[in-house]
Amino acid sequence: MKIYIVVVLALLLTFASVIALDENITSNQSDINQTESNQTLNETIVLEENITQGTSVPVLEVLAIIPSEFKIGDVQFNIQIKNNGLEEFNDVIATISGNGFATYDVVPIDLLGSGEKSYIIVSGNFKQEGDIRLTIRINGYLFYQNITVLDPNSGQDANKVKELEKKEAQELKELEVMKAQLDELQLKLRGLEDEYYEKKSESYDVSGIVTKDLKSFLRNAQSSLIHGDVEQLKVDLTLASSEYDDQKRNLDSARLIKRSFTSVIKDNAILITTLLGSIMAMVTFFELVKKKKEALYQKVKSMKIDKDTRVTIETKEENKEKKQKKK
């Protein structure tokens, strides 16, 4: 009888343990779900099949949606894309879906080279407020991006809408200031290139001056300005300004190249050859004139009449005149 009691107690303890374990698992799963639901609004999630083999970075990556807060109604936003792969992508276009969102138009990226970033422009309409997760499909890649939609007519969102409008107005002012900075940097670049070619023609060592990165930063800044990406524009302008200062400093410190006599002769070989040819032509011309003059002199000299011959001719002419008078 005691053995049966012990067996029953053991079964009861085992059953209680299973129930407790199941509750613990359920609790943990609930915590996980809660954690996932509390992800930050700007987080991008990429499916595992989109990951580049051997790395945690996808070939195509959604960096941000700009802006990430909207008012209900018609909107336009930019999806910033980066190409982490080695191959370039043509016609990079996005398909976007989400609760209450309808797409009107999408402007793709014509060409996205390796390591480059650019923007897909999306026009659409939000019909409901709240935190909405957008599903973005780009060239076979799948991403998720959270955004916030506010309702101006909602008392709860009224203050948020005012803050959003204030933020938009402030960003417009910042964009105007930074556009002026961008224009100034572009003028400085042209001046830098003019000075570069001038010093190069004057035989200065300008081999250390390279404007490739500066031009790249300015192109990125122009793109950020067009798409209203204030934060990225600040970064691009900072990089461009720093790069300009470095190249200007290098150009100002460029030294005149010391040239040997041999290099001078070599660089001016055509000019020297032309001058020598001209000199030889002049010498030949004068020699020819001299020879012609000498030949003419000899000819004239051979035609001269000596004194005795002249006297004989004069006597004959006098006799001829006398004969005519007698007649």
Nearest to 182 by CA among 131, 146, 233: 233
* 70 neighbors 152 (Cβ within 8 angstroms): no
Measured over the CA atoms of residue 37, residue 38, residue 43 and residue 49, the dihedral's sign is: negative
Q: Could you read off the pLDDT of 156-176 as tens digits, one per residue? A: 788 888 888 888 899 999 999
pLDDT of residue 300: 57
pLDDT of residue 160: 85
Q: Is 47 helix (H, G, I), strand (E, B) or coil?
A: coil
* 79 neighbors 62 (Cβ within 8 angstroms): yes
Q: Could you read off the pLDDT of 39-72 as tens digits, one per residue? A: 444 444 444 444 444 445 679 999 999 999 999 9
pLDDT of residue 280: 74
Cβ neighbors of 58 (< 8 A, separation 6 or more) are 46, 50, 51, 52, 84, 141
Residues of the chain with confidence (pLDDT) below 70: 1-57, 259-269, 272, 293, 295-327
d(CA 42, CA 65): 8
